[in-house]
Amino acid sequence: MKLNLPKEFIWGTATAAHQVEGNNTNSDFWLLENTKNTAFAEPSGITCDQWNRYEEDIDLIANHSIQSYRLSIEWARIETSEGEYSQEAIDHYKKVLDYCHEKNLKTCVTYQHFTSPLWFTAKGGWEKSDNVDNYLKYAEKVSRELGDYIDTVCTINEANLTAHFAHSFPNYPTNGMKTIMPFVNEAAKSCGSSLDNFGPFLFGHPFKIRDCMMEAHVKSVPIIKANLNKNQPVGVTLSIMDYQFVDGGKEVRDKAYSEAVDVCLDMIKNDDFVGIQTYTRHTYGPDGIIMPNTNNSEMLVMGYEYYPESLENVLRYVAPKINCPMIVTENGIGTDDDNQRISFIKTALEGVQRCLDDGLDIRGYYYWSFLDNFEWLFGYKPRFGLVEVDRTTQRRIEKDSLKFYQEIINNSK
């Protein structure tokens, strides 16, 4: 496969700290995973032990022609209690990012990827606008400490995701999943909080979290830029699925786009870039979302449909709504069939090529994910990685899809 891409196009792959580092014990998700009767399939535990094995992983990325590594730094490790910062954790991330540069990898760094410090979530987390100031102080600190090691900043990962959830599941609770998941209440009580004052991402009020995260992004951009010295681009990533409709469903579909996507795009249309994260399509009828047939052979382990064409459709939807470039910061597939992964990548990138041919400003593509990792409530069952991780030995095993991805990069230079 050969693509005709701009010379500056960035080829990347991505992970997130909590999903690969292991033993993120100060985070809200660690408590949620380990609370009795949790909805998580299993706890994250040591995950892929990347905290200790980062050099091995960075070597593997660099040795396969990949140009940029999108990773996150873990707020819960850096700010262990409110206003108290761990220099040891900051120095660790300096080593990780510096090693990327030693291997000629660009660094795309996400400041907050789902998980937050437990102290932050216990006082309302992302449901309370008053807490935005905590993120701003953290963003200022890490920008000042790590700015020399970062090439691109993603402030918050999928800041709109909970609003997307509200339009993606039938009968989604008005105040969020925590209202129907008793284990969240137990977790709140165990850390001295209460259900009303416990605001973990994924589980809380969908629109309060969207608004709080978008406020944090907008306010943090000038703070981050003031503490960087290389004019690095700063943006936010959004979860944007390909919303489609059948007869009678256009109004419902448009409302989903409006509340989950457009309201956010309006706030960031003049940013340095928008990070696009797309995995599938959702179809709406007059009564709401139409759930796909679970007996369909094209259904994936995450419970959604195999539909790689969604990326092209989303890029074309977003482009006219913004005045800045797009970067595909996540796109991938959870499957045990690596041939299916190869087909997914091929089809998705063919769509990117058509968009570029039509003049859309797309600056890069990051495959999600580099490693088979901890996929939140689903545990370790979904396998998104270009590299398998032996759950017993932590041995990295290259998949054919990694070699295929390398061939695309080399053929497209």
Burial class (CB in 10 A: 0-12, 13-18, 19+), 37: exposed
Q: Are 93 and 146 in contact (CB under 8 A)?
A: yes
Domains by residue range for the chain, with CATH: 10-411 (3.20.20.80)
Query: What gap in Å lies between CA 213 and CA 236, rounded to an integer?
Result: 10
pLDDT averaged over 10-residue windows placed end to end, the chain, 413 residues? 89 98 98 98 98 98 98 98 98 98 98 98 97 98 98 98 95 95 98 96 96 98 96 98 97 97 98 98 96 79 94 98 98 98 98 97 98 98 98 98 97 85
104 dihedral zone (left: phi>0; alpha: psi -120 to 50; beta): left
pLDDT for residue 297: 66
Locus of tokens 């990962």: 157
pLDDT of residue 298: 86
Say what the pLDDT of residue 229 is. Answer: 87
Helix axes 132-146, 206-226, angle to 10 degrees: 30
The backbone torsions φ and ψ at residue 68, rounded to the nearest 5 degrees and listed phi first, read -145, 145
Rounded-to-integer distance, Cα 178 and Cα 155, Å:
25
Residue 259 DSSP SS3: helix
Angular region, 9: left φ>0, alpha ψ -120 to 50, beta rest: beta
pLDDT at 44: 98
pTM, to two decimals: 0.97
31: Cβ contacts below 8 Å, ≥ 6 apart: 118, 187, 190, 191
pLDDT of res. 315:
98
Provide the residue type at 215 as one letter. E
Determine the pLDDT at residue 21: 98
At residue 406, the pLDDT reads 98
